[in-house]
Structure 1
């Protein structure tokens, strides 16, 4: 979470409270994990009314802020039961925090057809947007489109300041995967590692990661990435030499889809 806070401080605001850390991205209210509370520890369902009140006070309320997001550092292992929050309309996620030094990285099978290079044109970013939207449940959702437009602006601003780069994997000129790697506070933090659906299971991700790590050797003490515990990508990262350093859990209550009106309690009604 330390690397996340460093990046959030570069693209938004981070404010430390006694109970939590308040993260805001004022120019992107649709950025669910850029407008959130980072808690001191795992909450209980009895804490929810207070947490939702804190969120309303410090982050915002509908119509501008129509979601709620909470995150915290979890124990290194063991079951995390968040069913009570799911029953109250929250999506729960537990992610592994993986880290490696450059000297820990191992050679892996790669794809000789893949060429790796930093983004250089607007077309690269347009293709990135298309690939990201294609991986979302509803590519036509205006919320997702606004979020990605903000992310593109934020990442390009970080690149312009020399804080990292966005890298693409290309086969015959077609973008088939991409990732970001930024260097806040002396650490390398990967962002949004993705492979196009029709090119998965062809070592595109391993090739992209291996090449980017090789080209950025010496720019950071450690490399860090976060992967959903239920997603297979963690095994790819471990094959390269990344090891689990901790876990992060989160709860996110997304806004209702479609048009809405605000009721007397400040809630969004469909």
Structure 2
């Protein structure tokens, strides 16, 4: 399993990042991610599996999750991830029938020397976050990306991420950048470094500013200013996300895939309805 994780730069950098804000432990055959001070942070309280689970594994995996990660009332969700095979599609009906949301993310990697120059939006100012106001604006922007922007779980998740990212920045793991138009935050991203590898986090553009080269400008400027000497840069994005084409146009190529399953607390007893949870 260690080799599979190391070769999947998305999972590998996820674990490196999480080790700095929570805990990561090896409980064969799993890797256990926990965030004790944020129990409803779905992607921070998770079991990482060796590979895609079988349909008949659901009850056993839920039992293992409860034993290794936690159980209600402290931990009310169930969340799993694994390195997914290239070209494979997920069809886990048994999990969907019991309230699980399933997804596949692409791990995109760019060699620093292979990044392409591109046209940018000259009206966009790109700069580091420098005040609490910047982070307040980031929190509001991040909440709009949540399945339930006004829900308590979403609010707690964003507040935890805000604190965690700022601690990483204080410890000089990386920085957070914003794209501003007329002084207003219209896009942002984080970039954290592990030796020769840089990992982007939470790339987002305000909805009313999309298709205006905001993200393109932000990525281009951040790479130009901070990542020129790095060997590889990593982005992880849902395979259905429209921005993947943008990342590829800049020189990122698909290196691996990550599969995931998550059952949100509101779906914990809704298996008969076929409703799905949402992965935060």
TM-score, normalised via structure 2 length: 0.90
Query: What is residue 214 of structure 1 aligned with on the other side?
Result: 224
Q: Given the alignment of the two structures, is residue 200 of structure 1 paired with residue 213 of structure 2, yes or no? A: no
Q: What displacement does 1:138 show?
A: 2.2
2:75 paired with 1:65 = yes
Aligned to 1:266: none
Counterpart among 11, 14, 17 of residue 27 in structure 2: 17
Could you tell me which residue of structure 1 aligns to residue 143 of structure 2? 133
Q: Please state how far the C-alpha of 1:221 moved relative to its aligned partner.
A: 1.9
Kindly provide the CA deviation profile for residues 206-257 of structure 1, in whole angstroms up to 9, marking residues without a partner as x.
0000000011134532100111011111111001000000100000000118
Contact 1:6 1:185 in 2 (8 A): no
Query: Residue 88 of structure 1 is aligned with which of 81, 94, 98?
Result: 98
**Structure 1 CA distance, aligned partners of 2:234 and 2:111?**
9
Work out which of the residue numbers 30, 34, 37 in structure 1 matches 2:47: 37
Q: 2:36 — aligned with what?
A: 26
- Structure 1 stretches of 4+ moved >4 Å: none
CA distance in 2, matches of 1:217, 1:151: 23
Partner of residue 248, structure 1: 258
Q: Does 1:191 align with 2:201?
A: yes
Deviations 1:56-85 (A, max 9, x none): 011001111110000000112132222331
Mapping 1:84-233, distance limit 5 Å = 84-233=94-243
Deviations 1:146-179 (A, max 9, x none): 1111101100000001100000000010000000
SS at match of 2:17: helix
Could you tell me which runs of 5 or more consecutive residues in structure 2 were left unpaired when the two chains were aligned. 1-10, 270-280
- Equivalent residues of 1:13, 1:25 under 8 A apart: yes
My pick for the range that moved more, 217-226 or 2-11, is: 217-226
Q: In the alignment, is the contact (CA less than 8 A) between 2:30 and 2:50 conserved in 1?
A: yes
Q: How far has the Cα of 1:185 moved from its partner?
A: 4.3
Q: TM-score, normalised by structure 1?
A: 0.93
Q: Deviations over 1:3-30 (max 9, x none)?
A: 1110011111110121110000111112
Unaligned runs of 5+ in 1: 261-270
Partners in 2 of 1:251 and 1:48 — Cα distance? 11
Kept in 1: contact 2:175–2:190 (CA 8 A): yes
Distance 2:222 2:228 in 1: 12
Q: Is the 8 A contact 2:90 2:103 kept in 1?
A: no
Counterparts of 1:221 and 1:8 in 2: how far apart (Å)? 22
Calculate the aligned-residue CA RMSD, in Å.
1.3
